[in-house]
Structure 1
Amino acid sequence: MLGYVTLGTNDLEKGAAFYDKLCGALGVGRMMESDTFIAWGKPNGGAGIGLTRPFDGKPATVGNGVMAALQADSPAQVDEIYKLAIELGATDEGPAGARGDWFYAGYFRDPDGNKLNVFCMTGAPS
């Protein structure tokens, strides 16, 4: 089971402002932080997401094919979070909407270019 995901950043302050609002809209806040790393979630409350300056000191880069998915409670919350992300400077990678009969998601890239989606399950796969 996934415990947490970390995404790289070259501007922790800018990235933190983005994730403070995005995660706040999902009902979670910061649970850990240092001068190089911040994590959002609930301690012992499921998977969290972290933003970090790379440990090796090299610039953060985006991994091709890498994506973190943020679980929402409903299609309405997916719409809300996707819209908020875009308002906060994210770039569109696929607008919020149904993907088949049971999956609802919106895809975007954060200010550092990391790919995320916000999703909810609307039924069971057939």
Structure 2
Amino acid sequence: MIVNVCFGANDLARGAKFYDAIAAELGLERYMDTGKAIGWRNPAVGIGLAITLPFDGQPATVGNGTMATIGAANREQVDKIYALALANGGSDEGPPGVRANGFYAAYFRDPDGNKLNAFAMA
């Protein structure tokens, strides 16, 4: 079971703005801020998301083919998460819509280029 997803960040303040907006929409709380890493989680289950300055001191880079998926309650929440992502420094990777296998999803990247999507089942 995966209990956390962590992305490298080059600018924690910029990343925090992006993820704070999405976390608030999903009801996640910020539970950690060490000055080098920030984490958000669902308080009921402890599963979360984090960003961190890379431990080795090198720039954070994007994994090719790597993506984290955010489960949304419905299509409206997918639309809202996508809009929040773009409004907070993210970039478009595919606007909200029905995908070939019947789910509704939107794809975007965080300010450091990490790919995410939000989806809701039909």
TM-score strictly above 0.5: yes
Q: Distance in 1 between matches of 2:33 and 2:45?
A: 17
Q: Distance in 2 between matches of 1:46 and 1:103?
A: 26
Q: Distance in 1 between matches of 2:95 and 2:62?
A: 20
- Closer, same or farther: CA 47–117 of 1 in aligned 2, 3 Å: same
Q: Which residue of 2 aligns with 1:68?
A: 68
Tell me if the contact between 1:82 and 1:107 (Cα under 8 Å) persists in the aligned partners. Answer: yes
Residue 32 (structure 2) pairs with residue 35 (structure 1):
no
Q: Which residue of 1 aligns with 2:105?
A: 105
SS at match of 2:120: strand
**What TM-score, normalized by structure 2, do the two folds share?**
0.93
Residue 31 (structure 2) pairs with residue 25 (structure 1):
no
The two structures, once aligned, show a CA RMSD in angstroms of: 1.3
Amino acid at match of 1:112: D
Structure 1 stretches of 4+ moved >3 Å: none
Measure how far apart 1:44 and its partner are: 5.3
Measure how far apart 1:47 and its partner are: 2.9
Between the aligned residues of both structures, percent identity stands at 53
Q: Which residue of 1 aligns with 2:96?
A: 96
- Closer, same or farther: CA 23–83 of 1 in aligned 2, 3 Å: same
Which runs of 5 or more residues in structure 2 are unaligned?
Answer: none
Q: Distance in 2 between matches of 1:97 and 1:74?
A: 12
**What TM-score, normalized by structure 1, do the two folds share?**
0.90
Deviations 1:10-57 (A, max 9, x none): 100111111111110111120222111111112451531100001111
Amino acid at match of 2:75: P
Q: Which residue of 2 aligns with 1:51?
A: 51
